[in-house]
Structure 1
């Protein structure tokens, strides 16, 4: 078992990030687990951002006993709320409420689009936080994919997007419409599929590895776990 742990909300996130590591040839010893996995926390039984945040209460003490050396989290910003705070600020408040209890405080010197980090004087490594899709805007993994699509692939995505938008304006929830667009886009490729990680493969030639969204996420993984 690795000394490095990344916790995510769901299996799609887990599979995608593991494939990202492979495609980028990142030589990082890293376990990627869903927050509900028994090796993370037997008491968490739901795959949401709140599940990830709750799991931190179990994981952070394991930095003290040496089980883990580095911990990172990827959470979505995909929910509606009644708070006057922005979805980003509300998410950071929720994370800070847990992390501050263990003397991890947000590093205000870091640039948010390159990831958010919580530092502690007691530990050598920060806890890395990535707020999907870009640490600023509301969304989730599929929004990150949209932000990373190659220019020459956008014409097909635009057609998929137009189809979904014209399909039925009551059929999709606002929090799932980006998923419908991305999966439709994948379904109209020369090799149709329903696997998000397919777009990471070099032979698919769908994502721009030099895009800021792609490179920022890669840099965050390296900084958090290397």
Structure 2
């Protein structure tokens, strides 16, 4: 039986989804575990047609060897409509696998055809209430007290009162960075904050301090449902 492959948008997406997958493996270990292992990622550094097409195209050799059974694509929804994101993914799929079916909705497989091989593909868009990206979700599922990060709201209001603005996307990134750096950094870790309390070290955070996030939060229900397709 072939592997399941997950295509993600960035390194931090990868580290976050790995933590979710590790958790789900514990939950479903009695039955068939999800087979998306740490080495089975194809990372995209940012999002555009060329990079997603390249990530899909890189799967062809493995498909020809019968090594892949299912493929998942997870990208941020940002400020797009879901149907526009689906159209984006469909355009990339059709340019790489021209005889494949079209995605109609998230969390549902289509058949992806290549030569004499057939695999399944489904997509999911990282979001909170239909908008946002990874940091939007992280802000919603924070588990610890967040005094330092929450005080950024006063800073944001100060900007507005002085005729300045900050995009929600940038604010959420800043909020999460402060939460990781100041609200959840232990005294010992502060001695090596750059390696242990930084979004640049998000791999360390998700492997060693995953408890700062509520992985049982309802915000993650649809993501868990998507990953459950690979069970």
Common fold by TM > 0.5: yes
1:219 aligns with 2:218: no
Distance change in 2, residues 1:208/1:12 (3 Å): closer
2 CA distance for matches of 1:154 and 1:63?
46
3-state SS in 2 of match to 1:162: helix
- Give the CA RMSD over aligned residues: 3.4
Q: 1:59 matched to which residue of 2?
A: 59
1:120 aligns with 2:111: yes
Indicate if the aligned counterparts of 2:139 and 2:175 stay in contact, CA closer than 8 A: no
Offset, 1:6: 0.9
Distance change in 2, residues 1:190/1:125 (3 Å): same
Q: If the length of structure 2 is used for normalisation, what is the TM-score?
A: 0.67
Offset, 1:71: 0.8
3-state SS in 2 of match to 1:186: helix
2 CA distance for matches of 1:132 and 1:167?
30
Q: If the length of structure 1 is used for normalisation, what is the TM-score?
A: 0.69
Structure 2, unmatched stretches of 5+, are 27-32, 187-196
2 CA distance for matches of 1:70 and 1:129?
11
Q: 2:190 matched to which residue of 1?
A: none
3-state SS in 2 of match to 1:120: strand
Mapping of 1:178-193 within 5 angstroms? 178-191=172-185, 193=197
2 CA distance for matches of 1:167 and 1:128?
43
Q: 2:71 matched to which residue of 1?
A: 71
Mapping of 1:102-181 within 5 angstroms? 102-107=99-104, 115-120=106-111, 126-134=120-128, 137-150=130-143, 153=144, 156=147, 159-166=150-157, 168=159, 170=164, 172-181=166-175
Aligned residue among 78, 84, 89 for 1:90:
84
1 CA distance for matches of 2:125 and 2:112?
24
* Equivalenced residues, count: 199
Indicate if the aligned counterparts of 2:109 and 2:121 stay in contact, CA closer than 8 A: yes
Indicate if the aligned counterparts of 1:107 and 1:118 stay in contact, CA closer than 8 A: no
3-state SS in 2 of match to 1:12: helix
Q: 2:214 matched to which residue of 1?
A: 208
Instruction: Spell out, residue by residue over 1:139-181, the C-alpha distance to the aligned partner (whole angstroms, 9 max, x if none).
Output: 111112223234xx47637724414524645474443221111
Instruction: Using the TM superposition, name which of 208-217 and 8-17 deviates more.
Output: 208-217
Structure 1, unmatched stretches of 5+, are 36-45, 80-85, 109-114
Q: 1:8 matched to which residue of 2?
A: 8
3-state SS in 1 of match to 2:125: strand
Q: 1:33 matched to which residue of 2?
A: 42
Distance change in 2, residues 1:56/1:198 (3 Å): same
1 CA distance for matches of 2:92 and 2:78?
20
